[in-house]
Every structure is written in structure tokens, then in C-alpha cells.
Amino acid sequence: MNNRRNIGLVALPLLLTVGLAGGVFIGQYITRRTLSQEEEKLRTVLRLIESEYVDVVDIDSLVEETMPQLLNSLDPHSAYIPSSELTAVNEDLQGSFSGVGVSFQIVGDTVNVVEVIPGGPAEKVGILSGDRIIKADGKSLTGKDIGQEDVFKTLKGEKGSKVVLEIKRQSSKQPLTFDVIRGDIPVNSVDCKYMVDDEVGYLRVTKFARNTYMEFFNALNDLKAEGAKKFIIDLRGNTGGFMDQAIYMANEFLPAGRMIVYTKGRRPENETLAMSDGRGSFKDVEITVLTNEGSASASEIFAGAIQDNDRGLVVGRRSFGKGLVQNQTELPDSSAIRLTVARYYTPSGRSIQKEYLRGDKDKYDLDIIDRYSHGEFYNADSIKLDKSKIFTTSNGRTVYGGGGIMPDIFVPEDTTGYTSYYVNVMNKGLIQKFALSVADKYRSMLDDVKSTDRLLKVLPRDNTLLENFVSFAVKNGVPARWYYINQSRGLLLNQIKAMIARDVLGYSSFIELLNRDDKAMNRAYDALKNGESPVDIQLENNEKHDENGKE
């Protein structure tokens, strides 16, 4: 199996992603050399401040304050990491999480939840991506003095210990309170795999960590052993990780001599090229790839390689657009900088990095909100395609550069069933709490249940289940509003059953049940069943896919 990792003509350094970064080279401290005139100028200014400024100034603190501003003036992903935060940040890179099970970033004076780790303690009680943590055990986590180290110390803790988190959520006027029991955080990259029918297998990849390729390869073989001849690969919400893992994954599906990705920078050592070696075990299976605005970096490398080589269809919504590569260099005081040194490109030549203005990180970070505001999540015609950046796939299909991977088949965000009642019970975490109470009530009957289909037969009928939930919500302060409840009926029942499945059968069954009412998932499945995503997609299919995307 080890020879599978020696792909093509690549001189491939270690590539990573950080937060919203495209990729990272890990480097060493820059060798000392003669200072330039500009560098000597900076040193002179610091010496003058230290020796002659009217007030006593801590030069070290001044440098610490200046470094982030300096790096932020370059691009959205170049960054300074203080020594006090480097260990924690690198742990995040390794995919090793502990405590409550969230990854976060501090924007301004607020702790923003970037990702809720699937299956972790925070996810189980109903904390969502986008939530703002304002208090933990009564201690405020807001203000200009709050730092990452403070948040890590507060959220991490001994397994089994409790932390009470106060959350500010956009859809709730009042703060929400969650009791979170700290625990081991799942770090699996492939958190769900199952057979959709007798020949279609599904697997979801949530991150690109050190062992992602092997998890992915083993999952493919497990599904193949169950009869899978076609595959749906779900990369929605996958913000990236180790880029080499995406390359190894793409190699499994490509014939020999196909480009997977390349990087270009100012220096030759930052330029790399990855080609397929033809030794993949799944070169002849049909696949579809699911993406959305949360799919970034390594996810875009994989999706772009599959799309540009006409190897399968990308289904869903436009990806994030993260294509900058950073070099992480540790400094003498154990702090570090991550400096953008290259851009990566898909096989057709697309740079999928979305546009940005130097120094304007706020506008860059609000790009997803802007997409939502002008309707891109709901209508393909609202997507701002850059017609000056037209590229072609191996077989001549048109694709666009300028920001993210545009799917071959666009599927709008599904808000069917979203009512004020649904938002209210979700904000209070009542679906999760009710599901756990049902699982506990029927625990003895569910001990022998081993499949989702069997679970659904054991559970109460839909009308009974929904009425019981509404009564539970009333006891927890949410009045019954049947006009809205009936509008949200399908969504509520699906999520209740999925939550029960998670408590009884595990996270994979949770995703399996949610997927049954997922329009993007169902469209990807239909594309496989209807022969729309053959092993070698030809140009004549292009117009058909475009039409499907605009429905």
C-alpha cells in the first residue's frame, strides 16, 4: 500500500490548511543574513522608541501588537501566531480536539464557533456553527482582552466535567444556555458510510487529516464489499486539511498521467505538480461529489481534479474559494508566521482563490454572507460568474475561475419547513433533548436494533411521535402553534428520528436519516442512477447539466 503514496512527478512538501487558509508549508527559521536598508530602518526606529520615547514602552509588547497588523495587510490568510497560541493552533492542525468539541476564531472581541465537531459534546446539545460563546461557567468570554489561550483554557477540561456555555445566536433575541459535558472528541475523517441501495455507496469526508486517505480508501473497499459499484462522495462543510490526502484520494479515481493540482509562487521551491499514477483501485466506477459554500481548500482540490478531468459530476453549491498556500516559519521566541507563498490551480488552470483586497480581511470574511444576501444559495442565475475567466475540462466542457468550484448540477439550499416554531425549538435544543428522552424510554426495545430501517419500525408512528414532541416542547416553554408545526412537520420528524438514531446507532445513522430528505444528496443519487455521471463525461452532456442546475 505504501507505493500508492508515490504519485506522479511530484516533489511534494507537507501541505496543510489553517482555519480559512489554503495550505501551509512547514518551514524553519530564516537563516540570518545581512540586513537590508529597510530592515535596518525598522531596527533603528525600535531602538529610538526604546531609548528616547517620552514614556517607558515595552518593546516586546509593541512588536507583538504590530506583527498581526503587518501580516493582515498582505492577504486574508497570512498570519502571526504568538508563542502562547502556537501549540494550540498546531493541535488544531493535527485534528486533535478536546473539551467541548468546537473550533473557533476570535473576531473583534467575540468568540465565534467556526465548526462544531460531529459527534462531539457541543454538537450533541445543539450548539451550531456561527454561534457566539459569550460566557463559560459565568465567566465572560467577550472583550478586547480575550485571547485564544483564555478560551482554550476555559473550554478544555477533564473528561466528564461540565461547563455551562452561554450562547448568542442570530436567530434568538435572548442568550441561550447549554450544559456541555466535556468528552473525547471524535477525529475520524470519514464519519459516515452506508449503502443507499444495492449498488450506490455513500461516504462523507469531514476533514483532511493525517489518516484521511487510508480511512477513505478503507471505506470505499468496505462499501465495495457490500456491493457498491457507484459512489457519492460528500465534501459539504469540509474546510480542508492536509492537501496531500486530497491528492491521494483523487488518484484513486484517475487514469495514469492526469494532472491533479499544481502550485505557483515566486520561488521555484514553492512550485509543485501532482500527477496521477494510474494505480488507483476505483478508476472505473461512477462518482458524484457534493460541495457547498463550506467546502474549501483540499476539498476544492479534490472536486476540481474530478471535474476538470471529466471524471464525475460536482453537485450542490459553489465552494468557498480558498486557494492560497502558506509557509509556516517558527521564530526564535517560539512564535510563528504563516506567510502566503503560492497559489494552487486545478488541472484546467483555474485559480479557485476568490478575489480579495489587500488589508481588507473584514470584507473577505463577509463574502459568504454577501452570497446569501444576493440569492446565490437559492438561484444559480444569481451566481456572479467571471466570464473573463473561462476554462475548459479535458473533454471541452466550460468551467469558470475566479472563486470556488461551480457545481455541474446546482441544487439550492432547502428551507422547506423553516418556520418560527422550528427555529424556536432548535434554538432551545429541544429536538436533541426530546430524542434522548425517547431513546432512553425505548432503550430496552432498541438494544437489538442494528439498522436505521429496523429502528424506524420500532419507533412510534409519525403522528404520535410529533404529538409527543409538541407536548414536550410545551413543557419546556414553547407553545403549540399547529399552523407552523404542520408546515414544519416533515423537517421536524426527520430530525427527531435522525437524533434518536444518533443516540441509539451512532453518528453515521444520524447522517443517513438526514440524507433521506436532502435534495442535494437525492440529486447526486439520481445523477448516478440516470447515467449522467459516467466514468468519462463527454461534452454533449454539458448543456443538460447546466439546465438541471438552473431548475
Instruction: Tell me which residues are annotated as active site.
Output: 297, 308, 322
User: Which residue blocks in 141-211 are alpha helix, DSSP H?
Assistant: 148-155
- Alpha-carbon torsion (132, 234, 219, 222), positive or negative: positive
End-to-end CA distance of the chain: give it in Å, rounded: 44
Q: State the number of CA atoms in the 13 A half-sphere of 20 facing the CB.
A: 22
Rounded distance between C-alpha atoms, residue 223 and residue 218, angstroms: 9
Decide: 44 and 312 in contact? Cβ < 8 Å: no
Length of the chain in terms of residues written:
551
Report residue 284: phi and psi, to 5°: -115, 15
Rounded distance between C-alpha atoms, residue 99 and residue 366, angstroms: 29
Single out the residue of 530, 529, 531, 496 nearest to residue 514, CA to CA.
496
Gyration radius of the chain's alpha carbons = 25
Contacts 24+ apart (CB under 8 A), 372-379: 376/317, 376/318, 377/293, 377/317, 377/412, 377/413, 378/412, 378/413, 379/412, 379/550
- CA distances 404 to 116, 344, 351, 353, 368, Å, are 23, 12, 8, 6, 12
Decide: 315 and 12 in contact? Cβ < 8 Å: no
CA dihedral 382, 386, 387, 388 (to 10 degrees): 170
| Cell representation of residue 231 | 459512489
| Cell representation of residue 301 | 482540490
Identity of residue 177: T
- Alpha-carbon torsion (482, 488, 494, 497), positive or negative: negative
DSSP state of 492: H
